[in-house]
Amino acid sequence: MNRHSNGLSRRHLLALACALPVAARAQGAPLEKITVAGWSKPIVEVTPLLVDADKGFYRAQGIDLEYVPGTGGGDAIRNLLSGRADVAFTDPGSFFAALDKGEKLVAVYDVYPQNVFNVVALKKSGIRTPADLRGKRIGVYSLASGTRQNLQVLLHQAGLSEADVTVVVTGILNFAPLLQGQVDATAATDTGLLVGRRRGLGEVEVIDVARHLNVSSDLFVVTEAAYRSRKAALARFLRAYRDAAAWMIAAPEEAAGLATTRAIDGSDPALNLEIVRLRNAASVSDLTRQKGLGALDVASLQAAADVYRKLGLVRQPLAIARHAAVDLLPGR
């Protein structure tokens, strides 16, 4: 996969992203507020949501963007349901769990169609496969995070469950507990592993969850009520995010530079660039090459929901097609 392309040339992506659609709203028209509940603090990974003061992608679409930080996908869903946000930036597992509880939600955009989660252990631990995790202490970002959900998926592949391991909440930069021997392995993401390696993690064994279930890592989710009543504003928000994501793919160096002032963890431009490139790679798939960034793979999400039910993570069968909407997507 070309990590700098979603099926369009770099020149076309840059033209798409940088020719801001200033005509999208009437001159002087008021901006409409859209608040995004994130799974994280404002970190480099979410640069497309942080640079409107610099690039104007959202203002060009008539959107006044606000970002509310969180500690995991479940937290993003809670902020959405409480009315603190209009859009949740969340993982499929948290989305499925909310649907299972009867919440009326709709997925409207696939932020990262590639599964970026993993479990990492030091080479000396002897942990090589999911089966080797039995009886081990495993770190997760939080109990409401995609790291925990994907750990459960991985355990299931080996006929295990959380009852066979000890789950330890270690926070988002969770390799210090691994190095200090407080956990035997830690569930993380590709960017978390990148940062850990830059900080001297050393030789590790990486078990990629994508080898077992390559489903989307993150989605934009809204309530059914908002989907019905705010379609125009949500469509403009998604168009603006698509433009911002396309810009980051086409101009990763610029994105990495802006992250030094906009992201709380962005002080190292070289590290920022590596993170940006990983997120660019996760943003594209065969489907996005055909239909444009954000295209929802409903069949893949359904397959994942079925796995979550087999795991016992959700109790009811979920018909994902009823909870996914493609009519707001900006397309190519």
- pTM, 2 dp: 0.87
What confidence tens digit (pLDDT) does each residue in 21-65 have?
A: 444 455 567 999 999 999 999 999 999 999 999 999 999 999 999
- Domain end among 159, 182, 211: 211
Mean pLDDT of 63-71: 96
Backbone angles phi, psi at 37, to 5 degrees: -90, 115
What confidence tens digit (pLDDT) does each residue in 114-147 have?
A: 999 999 999 999 999 999 999 999 999 888 788 9
Pair (108, 256) in one structural domain: yes
- Number of residues that this document lists for the chain: 332
Q: pLDDT at residue 72 above 90? A: no
E-strand ranges in the chain read 32-37, 63-68, 87-90, 105-112, 117-122, 137-140, 166-169, 185-189, 204-208, 218-223
64: nearest Cα among 85, 95, 86, 33: 33
| Residue owning tokens 């940062």 | 195
Q: pLDDT at residue 103 above 70? A: yes
Burial tier of 144 (Cβ tally within 10 Å: 0-12, 13-18, 19+): buried
What is the token pair recorded at 311?
């795991």
Indicate the average pLDDT of the chain.
91
Burial tier of 160 (Cβ tally within 10 Å: 0-12, 13-18, 19+): middle
Strand, coil or helix: 30: coil
CA atoms within 13 A on the CB side of 16: 25
Residue 261 CB partners (closer than 8 Å, separation 6+):
none
For residue 3, what pLDDT is reported?
35
DSSP label of 110: E
Q: pLDDT at residue 290 above 70? A: yes
Mean pLDDT of 250-271: 97
2-11, 28-37, 235-244: range with highest mean pLDDT: 235-244
- Domain end among 146, 180, 211: 211
Pair (227, 266) in one structural domain: yes
| Pair 183, 170: CB distance under 8 Å | yes
- In angstroms, the CA 206 to CA 297 distance is 26
Residue 1 counted as domain residue: no
Mean pLDDT of 195-212: 91
Q: pLDDT at residue 273 above 60? A: yes
- In angstroms, the CA 150 to CA 29 distance is 44
Per the model's pLDDT, the better-predicted residue between 3 and 14 turns out to be 14
- In angstroms, the CA 21 to CA 251 distance is 18
Cβ-based neighbour number of residue 17 at 10 Å: 21
- Domain end among 156, 184, 211: 211
State the residue range of the domain holding 54.
10-114+216-323
Strand, coil or helix: 50: coil
- In angstroms, the CA 154 to CA 213 distance is 8
For residue 20, what pLDDT is reported?
47
Pair (22, 150) in one structural domain: no
- In angstroms, the CA 223 to CA 80 distance is 8
89: nearest Cα among 243, 306, 266, 237: 237
How many domains does the chain fold into?
Answer: 2
CATH of the domain at 166: 3.40.190.10
